Structure 1
Protein backbone atom coordinates (compact mmCIF):
# COMPACT_ATOMS: atom_id res chain seq x y z
CA UNK A 1 0.00 0.00 0.00
CA UNK A 2 1.18 3.54 -0.75
CA UNK A 3 0.48 6.37 1.69
CA UNK A 4 0.83 10.14 1.35
CA UNK A 5 3.48 11.43 3.76
CA UNK A 6 3.54 15.10 4.76
CA UNK A 7 6.61 16.50 6.50
CA UNK A 8 6.90 19.28 9.07
CA UNK A 9 8.54 22.65 8.37
CA UNK A 10 10.99 24.02 10.93
CA UNK A 11 11.11 27.82 11.03
CA UNK A 12 14.62 28.83 12.14
CA UNK A 13 16.04 32.34 11.70
CA UNK A 14 18.81 31.16 9.36
CA UNK A 15 16.38 29.59 6.89
CA UNK A 16 15.34 30.78 3.46
CA UNK A 17 11.92 31.83 2.24
CA UNK A 18 11.76 30.28 -1.20
CA UNK A 19 13.16 26.79 -1.76
CA UNK A 20 11.20 24.68 0.74
CA UNK A 21 8.06 26.78 0.30
CA UNK A 22 8.23 26.19 -3.47
CA UNK A 23 9.11 22.51 -3.05
CA UNK A 24 6.04 21.71 -0.96
CA UNK A 25 3.66 24.36 -2.31
CA UNK A 26 3.57 26.44 0.84
CA UNK A 27 2.21 29.88 -0.05
CA UNK A 28 2.08 31.31 3.48
CA UNK A 29 5.85 31.24 4.08
CA UNK A 30 6.63 34.78 2.91
CA UNK A 31 6.72 36.14 6.48
CA UNK A 32 8.88 33.50 8.11
CA UNK A 33 11.90 31.48 7.07
CA UNK A 34 11.53 27.78 6.26
CA UNK A 35 14.86 26.35 7.34
CA UNK A 36 14.17 22.60 7.34
CA UNK A 37 11.50 20.21 6.15
CA UNK A 38 11.50 17.07 8.28
CA UNK A 39 10.29 13.70 7.04
CA UNK A 40 10.26 11.07 9.75
CA UNK A 41 9.00 10.13 13.18
CA UNK A 42 10.89 12.63 15.35
CA UNK A 43 8.86 13.21 18.54
CA UNK A 44 8.99 17.01 18.27
CA UNK A 45 7.74 17.16 14.66
CA UNK A 46 6.49 13.84 13.30
CA UNK A 47 5.32 13.60 9.71
CA UNK A 48 1.68 12.88 9.02
CA UNK A 49 0.64 9.85 7.04
CA UNK A 50 -2.64 9.76 5.13
CA UNK A 51 -4.69 6.78 4.02
CA UNK A 52 -8.33 6.27 3.07
CA UNK A 53 -9.42 6.75 6.71
CA UNK A 54 -7.66 10.11 7.16
CA UNK A 55 -4.43 11.52 8.58
CA UNK A 56 -2.45 10.51 11.64
CA UNK A 57 1.00 11.02 13.10
CA UNK A 58 3.65 8.75 11.60
CA UNK A 59 4.58 7.79 15.17
CA UNK A 60 1.03 6.58 15.87
CA UNK A 61 0.88 4.78 12.53
CA UNK A 62 4.11 2.89 13.26
CA UNK A 63 2.89 1.97 16.76
CA UNK A 64 -0.21 0.45 15.17
CA UNK A 65 1.65 -1.04 12.16
CA UNK A 66 5.23 -1.91 13.21
CA UNK A 67 5.62 -4.40 10.37
CA UNK A 68 5.53 -1.45 7.94
CA UNK A 69 9.17 -0.85 8.89
CA UNK A 70 10.24 -4.19 7.42
CA UNK A 71 11.80 -7.18 9.13
CA UNK A 72 15.48 -6.22 8.60
CA UNK A 73 14.98 -2.71 9.97
CA UNK A 74 13.05 -4.00 12.99
CA UNK A 75 15.76 -6.57 13.76
CA UNK A 76 18.47 -3.91 13.70
CA UNK A 77 16.67 -0.84 15.10
CA UNK A 78 13.52 -2.10 16.82
CA UNK A 79 10.07 -0.69 16.14
CA UNK A 80 11.18 2.91 15.58
CA UNK A 81 12.02 4.60 12.30
CA UNK A 82 15.86 4.73 12.32
CA UNK A 83 16.35 8.00 10.41
CA UNK A 84 15.10 11.54 9.89
CA UNK A 85 15.31 13.09 6.43
CA UNK A 86 15.87 16.84 6.48
CA UNK A 87 15.63 19.12 3.44
CA UNK A 88 17.45 22.38 4.23
CA UNK A 89 17.13 25.92 2.84
CA UNK A 90 19.98 27.99 4.24
CA UNK A 91 19.89 31.75 3.69
CA UNK A 92 22.29 32.75 6.48
CA UNK A 93 25.47 30.99 7.68
CA UNK A 94 24.75 27.76 9.49
CA UNK A 95 26.75 26.41 12.41
CA UNK A 96 28.21 22.92 12.27
CA UNK A 97 26.14 20.38 14.18
CA UNK A 98 27.61 17.31 15.80
CA UNK A 99 25.42 14.60 17.23
CA UNK A 100 26.59 12.26 19.99
CA UNK A 101 26.18 8.51 19.98
CA UNK A 102 23.26 7.17 22.02
CA UNK A 103 25.64 6.17 24.84
CA UNK A 104 27.24 9.64 24.89
CA UNK A 105 23.82 11.31 24.89
CA UNK A 106 22.59 9.15 27.79
CA UNK A 107 25.73 9.91 29.81
CA UNK A 108 25.45 13.65 29.10
CA UNK A 109 21.74 13.65 29.93
CA UNK A 110 22.39 11.96 33.28
CA UNK A 111 25.25 14.36 34.07
CA UNK A 112 23.13 17.45 33.37
CA UNK A 113 20.29 16.01 35.46
CA UNK A 114 22.73 15.38 38.32
CA UNK A 115 23.85 19.02 38.11
CA UNK A 116 20.22 20.16 38.27
CA UNK A 117 20.17 21.78 34.81
CA UNK A 118 16.50 22.19 33.87
CA UNK A 119 15.29 20.62 30.61
CA UNK A 120 14.09 24.09 29.55
CA UNK A 121 17.44 25.80 30.30
CA UNK A 122 18.88 27.29 27.09
CA UNK A 123 22.38 26.20 28.16
CA UNK A 124 21.37 22.55 28.39
CA UNK A 125 22.93 20.34 25.72
CA UNK A 126 21.25 16.98 26.31
CA UNK A 127 17.46 17.10 26.25
Structure 2
Protein backbone atom coordinates (compact mmCIF):
# COMPACT_ATOMS: atom_id res chain seq x y z
CA UNK A 1 0.00 0.00 0.00
CA UNK A 2 1.07 3.53 -0.56
CA UNK A 3 0.90 5.97 2.35
CA UNK A 4 -2.28 7.45 0.85
CA UNK A 5 -3.92 4.02 0.61
CA UNK A 6 -2.81 3.11 4.13
CA UNK A 7 -4.07 6.41 5.56
CA UNK A 8 -7.44 5.99 3.81
CA UNK A 9 -7.89 2.50 5.27
CA UNK A 10 -6.76 3.69 8.72
CA UNK A 11 -9.08 6.72 8.54
CA UNK A 12 -12.09 4.56 7.63
CA UNK A 13 -11.42 2.40 10.68
CA UNK A 14 -11.00 5.42 12.96
CA UNK A 15 -14.17 7.03 11.58
CA UNK A 16 -16.05 3.91 12.66
CA UNK A 17 -14.58 4.14 16.18
CA UNK A 18 -14.83 7.90 16.76
CA UNK A 19 -18.60 8.01 17.45
CA UNK A 20 -17.99 5.73 20.46
CA UNK A 21 -15.95 8.45 22.21
CA UNK A 22 -18.05 10.62 24.54
CA UNK A 23 -18.31 14.34 23.77
CA UNK A 24 -16.10 16.51 25.95
CA UNK A 25 -16.90 20.15 26.73
CA UNK A 26 -13.46 21.07 28.10
CA UNK A 27 -11.19 23.01 25.76
CA UNK A 28 -8.69 21.48 25.32
CA UNK A 29 -10.00 18.08 26.32
CA UNK A 30 -7.15 15.98 27.81
CA UNK A 31 -8.78 12.60 27.03
CA UNK A 32 -9.35 13.60 23.40
CA UNK A 33 -5.78 14.93 23.12
CA UNK A 34 -4.49 11.62 24.47
CA UNK A 35 -6.68 9.63 22.07
CA UNK A 36 -5.54 11.70 19.08
CA UNK A 37 -1.86 11.21 20.01
CA UNK A 38 -2.41 7.47 20.61
CA UNK A 39 -4.10 6.96 17.23
CA UNK A 40 -1.40 8.96 15.47
CA UNK A 41 1.28 6.78 17.11
CA UNK A 42 -0.59 3.63 16.04
CA UNK A 43 -0.72 4.95 12.47
CA UNK A 44 3.00 5.71 12.44
CA UNK A 45 3.87 2.35 14.01
CA UNK A 46 2.09 0.58 11.12
CA UNK A 47 4.45 2.18 8.61
CA UNK A 48 7.87 0.82 7.73
CA UNK A 49 10.51 2.91 6.01
CA UNK A 50 13.80 1.80 4.51
CA UNK A 51 15.92 2.80 7.53
CA UNK A 52 13.28 3.32 10.24
CA UNK A 53 14.79 6.66 11.31
CA UNK A 54 11.76 8.73 10.26
CA UNK A 55 9.38 6.47 12.14
CA UNK A 56 11.55 6.69 15.26
CA UNK A 57 11.83 10.46 14.88
CA UNK A 58 8.05 10.84 14.57
CA UNK A 59 7.29 8.58 17.51
CA UNK A 60 9.70 10.50 19.76
CA UNK A 61 8.25 13.89 18.84
CA UNK A 62 6.44 15.58 21.72
CA UNK A 63 4.27 17.57 19.28
CA UNK A 64 3.26 14.72 16.96
CA UNK A 65 0.07 15.35 14.99
CA UNK A 66 -1.56 13.22 12.31
CA UNK A 67 -1.14 15.94 9.68
CA UNK A 68 2.59 16.29 10.43
CA UNK A 69 3.12 12.51 10.44
CA UNK A 70 1.20 12.10 7.18
CA UNK A 71 3.11 14.94 5.54
CA UNK A 72 6.52 13.60 6.62
CA UNK A 73 5.64 10.04 5.54
CA UNK A 74 4.45 11.18 2.11
CA UNK A 75 7.69 13.14 1.64
CA UNK A 76 9.73 10.06 2.62
CA UNK A 77 7.69 7.82 0.29
CA UNK A 78 8.32 10.23 -2.59
CA UNK A 79 12.03 10.35 -1.76
CA UNK A 80 12.30 6.55 -1.68
CA UNK A 81 10.44 6.23 -4.99
CA UNK A 82 12.67 8.79 -6.68
CA UNK A 83 15.80 7.08 -5.32
CA UNK A 84 14.66 3.69 -6.62
CA UNK A 85 13.74 5.19 -9.99
CA UNK A 86 17.20 6.74 -10.23
CA UNK A 87 18.89 3.46 -9.38
CA UNK A 88 16.60 1.42 -11.64
CA UNK A 89 15.39 -0.92 -8.89
CA UNK A 90 11.80 -1.60 -7.93
CA UNK A 91 10.04 0.76 -5.55
CA UNK A 92 10.54 -0.07 -1.87
CA UNK A 93 7.44 -0.73 0.16
CA UNK A 94 6.72 1.76 2.92
CA UNK A 95 4.53 -0.63 4.86
CA UNK A 96 5.51 -3.74 6.68
CA UNK A 97 5.68 -6.94 4.64
CA UNK A 98 2.57 -7.37 2.50
CA UNK A 99 0.19 -10.03 3.68
CA UNK A 100 -1.32 -12.61 1.37
CA UNK A 101 -4.27 -13.99 3.30
CA UNK A 102 -5.38 -17.49 2.48
CA UNK A 103 -2.70 -18.05 -0.17
CA UNK A 104 0.26 -20.41 0.33
CA UNK A 105 3.63 -18.62 0.17
CA UNK A 106 4.90 -20.36 -2.94
CA UNK A 107 1.76 -20.04 -5.06
CA UNK A 108 1.31 -17.24 -7.55
CA UNK A 109 -1.62 -14.87 -7.15
CA UNK A 110 -3.70 -13.71 -10.07
CA UNK A 111 -4.53 -10.01 -9.97
CA UNK A 112 -7.56 -9.14 -7.87
CA UNK A 113 -10.60 -9.04 -10.12
CA UNK A 114 -11.94 -6.03 -8.18
CA UNK A 115 -8.94 -3.65 -7.97
CA UNK A 116 -6.31 -5.32 -10.19
CA UNK A 117 -3.56 -5.54 -7.54
CA UNK A 118 -1.38 -8.66 -7.29
CA UNK A 119 -0.91 -8.91 -3.51
CA UNK A 120 -4.32 -10.37 -2.66
CA UNK A 121 -7.29 -12.24 -4.10
CA UNK A 122 -10.66 -10.64 -4.76
CA UNK A 123 -12.08 -12.56 -1.77
CA UNK A 124 -9.67 -10.61 0.47
CA UNK A 125 -9.88 -7.22 -1.27
CA UNK A 126 -10.32 -4.43 1.28
CA UNK A 127 -11.83 -2.19 -1.40
CA UNK A 128 -14.49 -4.79 -2.16
CA UNK A 129 -14.89 -5.97 1.46
CA UNK A 130 -14.11 -3.01 3.80
CA UNK A 131 -15.45 -5.02 6.74
CA UNK A 132 -12.30 -7.20 6.50
CA UNK A 133 -10.17 -4.22 7.59
CA UNK A 134 -11.14 -4.94 11.19
CA UNK A 135 -9.80 -8.49 10.88
- Shared fold per TM-score greater than 0.5: no
Q: What TM-score does the superposition give when structure 1 sets the normalisation length?
A: 0.30
Between Structure 1 and Structure 2, which shows a larger proportion of helix residues? 2
Q: What TM-score does the superposition give when structure 2 sets the normalisation length?
A: 0.29
Between Structure 1 and Structure 2, which shows a larger proportion of strand residues? 1
